Amino acid sequence: MIYIFCAPSGSGKSTMVNHLLTCHPNLFELSISCTTRPPRGQEVHGREYYFISMDEFRQRVENNEFVEYEQVYEGLYYGTLKSEIERIERAGRQVLFDIDVKGGINLKRILGDRATSIFICPPSIDELRRRLVGRGDTSPEMIEKRLAKASIEMEDMKYFDRVVINDNLEHAFQQLDAIIEEGEN
Ligand code: ADP
Ligand code: 5GP
């Protein structure tokens, strides 16, 4: 099974994905996307993302290397490489995706029954702002852009197979574990 995690930025996607990777290191692996945005904080090329130039991104689009790609924010492109799914499945692991809402809906459409799409829902926009500010790695201008986008993304929750409300963290982990258990059966 492939799991597609989507949510407005700051809702807790990385926290959910890291929970699965920590609890089941041999079962899951995260697909690493390409992006044209520069690394943030401690991010490393080939770990969080493949950080590439706009020229290289265009070249890879021309070569048909992406399952899906998108301009997620103004001037910033993100894309899922076909080779990532192959790499992870060849290693005998299940693929996890952490991508934006539009990309996730597209990917689910492409992968069909092979994938479960999961929407991580923040308790409120105010709490989302608090978490983005608290994370301390995004400029105030980008935070406002992400919050504006979040309100629109929340309307697409209905297109997902599952919704996990990330209010209390432990409770969110329990909801997620139940979804995974179901997928194993
Ligand atoms: P995303 O990957 O969706 O952008 P993150 O997983 O980075 O979001 O979470 C954003 C911030 O909110 C992080 O600092 C994270 O530690 C914090 N966070 C995540 N889940 C919760 C929660 N249930 N309660 C409080 N803070 C949380
Ligand atoms: P960030 O810059 O905070 O790492 O990510 C910004 C947004 O881009 C997040 O919503 C993230 O999930 C999304 N994203 C990351 N990789 C991809 C991808 O390959 N495709 C799409 N469509 N979105 C992605």
Fill in the DSSP letter of residue 157: G
Q: 7 C-alpha to center of ligand 1: Å?
A: 11
Sign, Cα dihedral of 45, 48, 7, 84: positive
Q: Residue 69 CA: which ligand is closest?
A: 2
Which CATH number goes with the domain that contains 51? 3.40.50.300
What is the phi-psi region of residue 11: left when phi exceeds 0, alpha when psi lies from -120 to 50, beta otherwise? alpha
Specify the pLDDT at position 13: 92
Specify the pLDDT at position 184: 77
Specify the pLDDT at position 74: 87
**Three-class DSSP category at 124:** coil
Tell me if 8 CB under 6 Å of ligand 2.
Answer: no
Tell me if 10 CB under 6 Å of ligand 2.
Answer: no
The binding-site residues of ligand 1, defined as CB within 6 angstroms of any ligand atom, are 7, 9-15, 131, 134-135, 166, 169, 172
Residue 68's domain comprises 2-184
CB count within 10 Å of CB 95 equals 23
Number of domains the chain contains: 1
Specify the pLDDT at position 137: 83
Written as tens digits, the pLDDT of the chain (185 aa) is 899 999 998 899 999 999 999 999 899 999 999 999 999 889 999 999 999 999 999 999 999 999 999 998 889 999 999 999 999 999 999 999 999 899 999 999 999 999 999 999 999 999 999 999 998 888 999 899 989 989 999 999 999 999 999 999 999 999 999 999 988 77
Ligand 2 pocket: which of 9, 100, 118, 120 to mutate (most atoms within 8 A of CB): 100
> How far is residue 3 from each of residues 24, 36, 47, 109, 180, measured CA to CA in Å?
14, 24, 19, 13, 9
- Tally the residues of the chain: 185
Contacts 24+ apart (CB under 8 A), 74-77: 74/145, 75/36, 76/35, 76/36, 76/37, 77/34, 77/35, 77/36
In this structure, are residues 66 and 81 in contact, taking their beta carbons and an 8 Å threshold?
A: yes
DSSP β-ladder status, 76-81 and 33-35: antiparallel
